[in-house]
């Protein structure tokens, strides 16, 4: 089941790219601008088909997004049917259409998730109290400490912990990650049964918990250990009915705020990294590198997140896709060169200054922006590989 959900998640992720570019496509055609190519991902090209409408549909190799190539994309082009000849309002609608499509997609997905049961991801997650019911509450295994009792017994991340039991006694249910430490402490040094669920199947493991002496002694070292050796987390589903659209909007606002907060941390970390490199401060450089890299993720990171989410059910998978769609909208409205926001803000600035960019200057800005974007993706990919593998 988790493999099927992973495949569905990847298809939905590609769908976000298609939806984003379709916004540009449909708004360009409605604005009288001719479309030359609709591309999924970035070249080199893998597949090409010329449609009856005269534009090419292509599938490309690099999974970094997509594009719609328009006739006369330079702001200085004046040929009829070209992007450059369109009015400022038409250009704004074309460049902003992808953002609008991603926002609408995020809203629809998050509304559906709220109706089905929205996983609780953050503290004080937005809900309408009168219309919220907890439909599922589980304790999941997070990180498993190598060599711990849990690792030796075969427990893995995303296992659903049900209960611990001393032989000859009644099982003690695990209802919250906050209560688990007290339970394992009460069984310190003893052999217990651990009941858990994995992939829809119930399992039982026998293991001996670390003793209180071992745990206390480890606190004085660089690698403290627990009685069981896991980091538990709560998995809670909160279901709404009539308030689902309101919950979707409130949650979107929270994620947007957290996204900008994460961008702020990333920029601050990048600043520390550069300052440390210039001044030779190794501690500052390493801290900056860690702070900046922990706030971003690329194609590899997204795949790992989708893979992890597939083990938690379709609600979690849809939630991830909804958040990614919202994040794409946010990133594409920012003044980042080579992205929609960058082109839009440059166009608006040029019109405000009444000094339209020449074709050469526009190409130079976009090429530099694209090269920087690709370089950033490559760097993030290396970070993701080191982080997850």
For 86-97, what is the mean pLDDT?
92
Looking at residue 106, its pLDDT comes to 95
Structure-model confidence comparison of residues 246 and 347, the more confident one: 246
Residues 17, 101: Cα–Cα separation, whole Å? 10
Residues 345, 84: Cα–Cα separation, whole Å? 15
Q: Is 14 exposed, middle or buried (0-12, 13-18, 19+ CB in 10 A)?
A: middle
Looking at residue 271, its pLDDT comes to 52
pLDDT over 70, % of the chain: 81
Looking at residue 89, its pLDDT comes to 92
Tell whether the model's pLDDT for residue 129 goes beyond 80: yes
Structure-model confidence comparison of residues 165 and 292, the more confident one: 165
Q: For 305-340, how does the pLDDT look when each residue is reduced to its tens digit (9 = 90+)?
A: 666 665 677 888 888 889 889 988 988 888 877 778
Tell whether the model's pLDDT for residue 273 goes beyond 50: no
Q: For 188-210, how does the pLDDT look when each residue is reduced to its tens digit (9 = 90+)?
A: 999 999 999 987 899 999 999 99
Tell whether the model's pLDDT for residue 360 goes beyond 90: no
Q: For 53-73, how does the pLDDT look when each residue is reduced to its tens digit (9 = 90+)?
A: 899 999 999 877 889 999 988
Q: For 336-358, how does the pLDDT look when each residue is reduced to its tens digit (9 = 90+)?
A: 777 788 888 888 877 777 776 67
Structure-model confidence comparison of residues 389 and 122, the more confident one: 122
Distant-in-sequence contacts of 263-267, Cβ < 8 A, 24+ apart:
263/295, 265/291, 265/292, 265/294, 265/295, 266/291, 266/292, 266/295, 266/296, 267/292
Mean pLDDT, the chain, integer: 83
Tell whether the model's pLDDT for residue 294 goes beyond 60: no
| Structural domains of the chain, with CATH | 1-132+241-389 (no CATH), 133-239 (2.30.42.10)
């Amino acid at each position: 089941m988790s493999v099927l959900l992973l495949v569905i998640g990847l298809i939905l992720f590609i769908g976000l790219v298609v939806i984003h570019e379709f916004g540009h496509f449909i708004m360009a055609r409605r604005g009288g601008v001719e479309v030359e190519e609709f591309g999924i991902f970035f070249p080199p090209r893998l597949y090409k088909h010329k449609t009856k409408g005269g534009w090419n549909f292509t599938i490309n190799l690099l999974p970094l997004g997509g594009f719609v190539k328009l006739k006369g994309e330079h702001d200085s082009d004046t040929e009829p049917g070209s992007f450059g000849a369109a009015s400022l309002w038409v250009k704004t609608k074309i460049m902003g259409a992808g953002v609008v499509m991603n926002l609408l997609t995020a809203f629809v997905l998050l509304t559906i998730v709220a109706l089905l049961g929205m996983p609780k991801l953050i503290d004080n997650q937005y809900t309408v109290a009168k219309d919220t019911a907890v439909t599922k509450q589980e304790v999941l295994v997070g990180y498993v400490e190598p060599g711990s009792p849990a690792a030796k017994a075969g427990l893995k991340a995303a296992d659903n912990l049900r209960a611990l039991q001393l032989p000859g006694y009644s099982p003690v249910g695990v209802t919250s990650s906050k209560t688990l430490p007290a339970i394992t402490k009460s069984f310190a040094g003893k052999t217990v049964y651990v009941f858990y669920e994995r992939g829809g199947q119930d399992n039982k493991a026998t293991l001996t918990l670390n003793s209180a002496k071992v745990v206390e002694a480890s606190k004085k070292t660089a690698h403290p250990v627990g009685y069981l050796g896991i980091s538990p987390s709560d998995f809670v589903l909160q279901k709404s009915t009539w308030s689902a659209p309101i919950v979707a909007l409130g949650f979107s606002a929270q994620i947007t705020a957290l996204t900008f907060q994460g961008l702020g941390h990333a920029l601050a970390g990048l600043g520390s990294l550069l300052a440390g490199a210039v001044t030779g401060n190794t501690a500052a450089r390493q801290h900056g590198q860690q702070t900046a890299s922990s706030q971003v993720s690329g194609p590899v990171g997204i795949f790992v997140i989708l893979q992890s989410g597939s083990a938690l059910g379709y609600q979690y998978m849809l939630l991830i896709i909804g958040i990614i769609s919202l994040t794409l909208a946010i990133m594409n409205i920012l003044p980042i060169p080579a992205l929609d926001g960058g082109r839009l803000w440059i166009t608006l600035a040029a019109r405000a200054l009444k000094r339209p960019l020449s074709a050469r200057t526009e190409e130079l800005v976009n090429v530099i922006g694209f090269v920087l974007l690709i370089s950033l993706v490559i760097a993030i990919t290396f970070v993701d590989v080191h982080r997850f593998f």
